[in-house]
Structure 1
Amino acid sequence: MSTLPINADLHCHSVVSDGTLTPEELAARAQANGVTLWALTDHDEIGGQRRAAAAARAAGIGYLSGVEISVTFASETVHIVGLGFDAEDPRMAQGLFDTRGGRGQRAHEIAAQLAAVGIPGAYEGALKYVGNPELISRTHFARYLVEAGFCKDTAEVFRKYLADGKPGFVPHRWASLRDAVAWITQAGGMAVIAHPGRYKLTANEEYALFTEFKAHGGQGVEVVTGSHTPAEYATYAGMAREFGLAASRGSDFHSPDESHTDLGQLPPLPDGLTPVWTLLADRIQH
């Protein structure tokens, strides 16, 4: 028997952070792709939540409030998804505002470093792709460098210019794991480790991440995501069982042109796991 009674996609991004579609366009796309439970999880920003909830209601699909919070852990940027929280909670709003604050300065430093290797005007170029200037990110720079002909696609931009050790890389100090989990849980939501297979953590560091996350009150982990392989589905299903975490599922969709996995197109969760939405049933908006 399937553990997926509904087609849930609980991780995607709109123009409010670094996606290319509006919350309304995402809701329509989710509905067209058979999604029955959706969450918009913009990076460090909940400004699109009212629009997303209204669009989901109009499309006739269930909705959970969402956010993806950037965290520094073991010198690596890790993402924590929040689901089912009160999107009007002032503590979360303030915490996210403070986290976003460093992006502008970082963007100017990225542009200066790119100019030094022969790519002028990158800050102004990236701004053309930003729906929310507070959230200018490496993805916006990547889109500009493709448009300007420096690289053939955004993956090449990251490899050549924006990854750690490359000319345009500038690290950012994000929230702490403790703070991110606290903002989510204090607002009545569930904290979920996003796409754990993506992080460059040693086995010991990954175990520490899961241990500390659970100790701070985290309750879930993304098992089936657009960036996990089938082998990683099995790996993180095992981690969910070992740590007593609920399992989440989300495409991490950003754009029809850039994302490998479309909304609602992932396989079901592996058997024997507790889906996050069963624990959040009373928070689903219809």
Structure 2
Amino acid sequence: MSILNADLHCHSVVSDGTLTPEELAARAAANGVELWALTDHDETGGQQRARAAAHANGMKYLTGTEISVTFASQTVHIVGLGFDAEDPRMLQGLVATRGGRGARAMEMSDELAKVGIVNAYEGALRYVGNPELISRTHFARYLVECGACKDTNEVFRRFLTEGKPGFVPHRWASLRDAVQWISAAGGVAVIAHPARYKFSANEEYALFSEFKAHGGRGVEVITGSHTAAEYVKYGETAREFGLAASRGSDFHSPGESHTDLGRLPYLPGALTPVWELLADRIQ
């Protein structure tokens, strides 16, 4: 079952992607994806559309979301797969998690104005499909449009990361909350792209230990931001902690994403694919 073109991490205009759920589904199917999940940030509003579009394009579907949590003073992302998208506890939790984004965005705009980039909030809003989910990515697209930077990578390097003008931290859900929302709704919680976090070895061990203790069951091993060496490292981590392995491009936009939907290497055969834990949840 590891030789399956599953893409279980991507984003639409419902959060910070640039394509609709329908456009993503068509792109995924054209690239040979057999099992797909739309995982918009802290949001499940695109799930019905995504499921319908997956079926229209001949793909199987798992419900998905990507929840922002704070762990060891950093933002970590937890992907939920195969949950009940109408579960009231999860929906309430996601509303609360989204709630701080608007105030944070206004602060980011104020900070950017101090270094001569004015009206950044209004500019970012032009790129937002869902105003509740305005994010750094939307600001980055505006800063490219207005000529402050040549591409979004430069924006993050110069302005929107810790210690730079325009960075404003946000207090997200706790790791425990996110994992328990997903699990209580019948899904599986997965640590997204673990190589992206700047943790020490001890902090990373604590993340995986606490995640497992709260009921987390998976980790992204094959993902768009991992190198071949990191595939190996996190495959070993999955085995060490008894976690299933997930695969997802983290695709956001044709013009921005390094890895297209469905274009990743397959999972190593020695790992348990996360979709085997979710066989009865695949639609």
What TM-score do you get using the length of structure 2 for normalisation? 0.99
Q: Distance in 2 between matches of 1:260 and 1:220?
A: 24
Counterpart check, 1:183 vs 2:181 = yes
Once the two structures are TM-superposed, the CA of residue 13 in structure 1 deviates from its matched residue by: 0.2
Q: Distance in 1 between matches of 2:234 and 2:3?
A: 20
Unaligned runs of 5+ in 2: none
Map 1:82-231 onto structure 2 (within 5 A). 82-231=80-229
Residue of structure 2 in register with 1:245 after alignment: 243
Cα deviation, 1:90-125, whole Å, max 9, x if unaligned, reads 110000000000000000000000001100000000
Q: Distance in 1 between matches of 2:277 and 2:91?
A: 24
Residue of structure 2 in register with 1:256 after alignment: 254
Cα deviation, 1:41-77, whole Å, max 9, x if unaligned, reads 0000000001000110111100000000000000010
- Runs (4+) off by over 6 Å: none
Q: Distance in 2 between matches of 1:157 and 1:208?
A: 31
Residue of structure 1 in register with 2:280 after alignment: 282
Matched length: 283
Once the two structures are TM-superposed, the CA of residue 4 in structure 1 deviates from its matched residue by: 2.6
Cα deviation, 1:195-253, whole Å, max 9, x if unaligned, reads 00000100000000000000000000000000000000000000000000000000000
Equivalent residues of 2:4, 2:266 under 8 A apart: no
Q: Distance in 2 between matches of 1:272 and 1:28?
A: 31
Q: Distance in 2 between matches of 1:271 and 1:279?
A: 16
Once the two structures are TM-superposed, the CA of residue 5 in structure 1 deviates from its matched residue by: 3.0
Once the two structures are TM-superposed, the CA of residue 279 in structure 1 deviates from its matched residue by: 1.1
Equivalent residues of 2:84, 2:186 under 8 A apart: yes
Given candidates 253, 266, 269, the residue that maps to 2:267 is 269
Q: Distance in 2 between matches of 1:151 and 1:5?
A: 40
Whichever residue aligns with residue 269 of structure 1, its letter is L
Residue of structure 1 in register with 2:48 after alignment: 50
Q: Distance in 1 between matches of 2:176 and 2:37?
A: 23
Equivalent residues of 2:161, 2:167 under 8 A apart: yes
Q: Distance in 1 between matches of 2:214 and 2:118?
A: 44
Once the two structures are TM-superposed, the CA of residue 278 in structure 1 deviates from its matched residue by: 1.0
Q: Distance in 1 between matches of 2:210 and 2:148?
A: 41
Q: Distance in 2 between matches of 1:189 and 1:88?
A: 12
State percent identity of aligned pairs.
80
Q: Distance in 2 between matches of 1:125 and 1:51?
A: 28
Q: Distance in 2 between matches of 1:268 and 1:70?
A: 26
Equivalent residues of 2:2, 2:272 under 8 A apart: no
